[in-house]
Amino acid sequence: MRLSIRRAGALLVVAATLTACSSPPTPDQQQPPAAAGSGSPAGARNGAPDPCGLLTTAEVSAATGHSAADGAINLTVSQARIKACDWTAAGTGTVQVLVSDVDAFASSRETAGQIYGVTSITVPGASDAYVVTGGFLIGMDVAPYFVQVSYVTVDPNVEAVTRDLAARVAGRSGPPN
């Protein structure tokens, strides 16, 4: 359980880094959350993709091997320029997709590196990416967005699952056509 708490703390640390980089929302940046788990590519604040629309519940369940609940906006992490969506499988773990229109790739990588250590990786659809030691969190530069995929679990295949989900998300996160 200690490992899961540590990993959950990482999500908040990286989100806190993004918070420090963001400015207060303007009225045009304030929108209610999109329907959770809808799988639709509806835009989030500032035109960023809705994180709940970047994966389907079926994809999360298939990748993790556990039946996951529909994605829901994480109100603790989400803010005006940062949106996070969680898919949870009772007792087995949580997948989170975080999307921000704040240019936070470098600062997030630095923070994650100080806490866990990071390795550069290639993720199709991302111009740059890193994975933290332990493989449970992948941060990506998917211009113009910072995108993070994490899988908080004790599953020994955590890195393979996180990489699979990150590749799906990166391919759907780019700017609108």
State pLDDT tens for residues 40-74: 333 444 578 999 999 999 999 999 999 999 999 99
Task: Please indicate, yes or no, if residue 90 is contained in any of the structural domains.
Answer: yes
Q: Which domain holds residue 137?
A: 2-22+35-173
162 within a domain of the structure (yes/no) = yes
Q: Which residue has the higher pLDDT, 9 or 97?
A: 97
User: What CATH number has the domain bearing residue 137?
Assistant: 3.40.1000
Average pLDDT, the chain: 80
Under a CB-based contact definition with an 8 Å cutoff, are residues 123 and 170 in contact?
A: yes
**Share of residues in the chain with pLDDT > 90 (%):** 64
Per-residue pLDDT at 14 exceeds 60: no
Residue 173 or residue 10, greater confidence: 173
Q: Give pLDDT, residue 90.
A: 78
Strand 137-142 relative to strand 145-153: parallel, antiparallel, unpaired? antiparallel
* 111 CB-near residues (< 8 Å, 6+ apart): 13, 14, 17
What are the beta bridge partners of residue 137? Answer: 150
pLDDT at 127 over 80: yes
Least confident of 38-42, 77-81, 132-136: 38-42
Task: Report yes or no on 147 lying in a domain.
Answer: yes
Assess if residue 68 is contained within a domain: yes
Q: Distance between CA 50 and CA 38 in Å, rounded?
A: 10
16 lies in some domain: yes
Q: How many domains does the chain have?
A: 1
* Residue 51 resides in a domain: yes
pTM higher than 0.85 = no
In a domain, 28, yes or no: no
Indicate whether 89 belongs to any domain: yes
Distance of CA 162 to the CA centre of its chain: 10
Supply the pLDDT for residue 102: 87
> Of how many residues is the chain composed?
177
